[in-house]
Amino acid sequence: MTQIDPFLMQLVIIPVITIGFGVLVAFLFKKVYLAPLVTLLINALIEMSLGFIYYGHFSLSSLSAWNFLFPVISLAIALPLNNRV
């Protein structure tokens, strides 16, 4: 069984999933503030689950800087989208 390259997973797949889902929720509900909240929640859950799977434990201090960057990016994408509608 082949595995996904970690480089591809961290820099392409996870950002597209988390940011995309946050922007989609904000667009569907017409609430801009949902984009960063949903993005933060999903990315934190992904990091916690992967930390638990690979290391057997997880602590909140081990969250990465992506948890701050992804919500900002999703907000920057969701603001212009909601202004058009």
Residue 85 contacts residue 42 (beta carbons within 8 Å) = no
- pTM equals 0.86
pLDDT averaged over every residue in the chain: 89
Distances (CA, A) of 28 to 2, 34, 40, 43, 45: 36, 10, 18, 20, 22
Residue 50 pLDDT: 85
Residue 34 has pLDDT above 90, yes or no: yes
Residue 62 has pLDDT above 80, yes or no: no
Residue 23 has pLDDT above 60, yes or no: yes
Closest to 44 (Cα-Cα) out of 73, 72, 74, 65: 65
Could you tell me which residue, 41 or 55, shows the higher pLDDT? 41
